[in-house]
Structure 1
């Protein structure tokens, strides 16, 4: 058995994977075993994609509403200074 090639070993890509507990029905109060799965971060984000998109939309709408409340309605095409 030959020793491993140092250059080949240095070029090898290594990644660290973190597992996250995903609620399959998207309800964090339901902690039954059949409702939980250990997923990598990428798969967990893909599983919760629609929830995150909805939260993003709500956050943006809240920011616009606060701007309207304190600074007046936004005008399309105008930049405030």
Structure 2
């Protein structure tokens, strides 16, 4: 866990390089009123599987990402998982519901 200075929009202070960085890690300029919005927060790194396979623990497949970057990296996988869960629940309901009750508007 490390305390990090940031501006609330993804830009953060890189203390080692003594520069501001964008949310993509590129060096960026912050001038004037932007410095009034400096906040601090604690950041915890998480281990991300680059190929989204938790069984593949090869060092080349792992990256240490902050929580924000980890969620952005896994966003497509999370969307797919949500879709799959809804699809699966609908399929199970189709197996066990009486289609006549749905058609007639009656609840089981």
**What TM-score do you get using the length of structure 1 for normalisation?**
0.64
> How many residues are treated as equivalent by the alignment?
69
**What TM-score do you get using the length of structure 2 for normalisation?**
0.50
Unaligned runs of 5+ in 1: 1-11
Measured against aligned partners, the alpha-carbon deviations of 1:45-68 in whole angstroms (never above 9, x if no partner) come to: 111111111111110001111222
Instruction: Give the number of the structure whose residues are more often helix, by fraction.
Output: 1
Large movers: runs of 4+ above 4 Å = none
Measured against aligned partners, the alpha-carbon deviations of 1:19-43 in whole angstroms (never above 9, x if no partner) come to: 1100112222221222211101111
Unaligned runs of 5+ in 2: 1-37
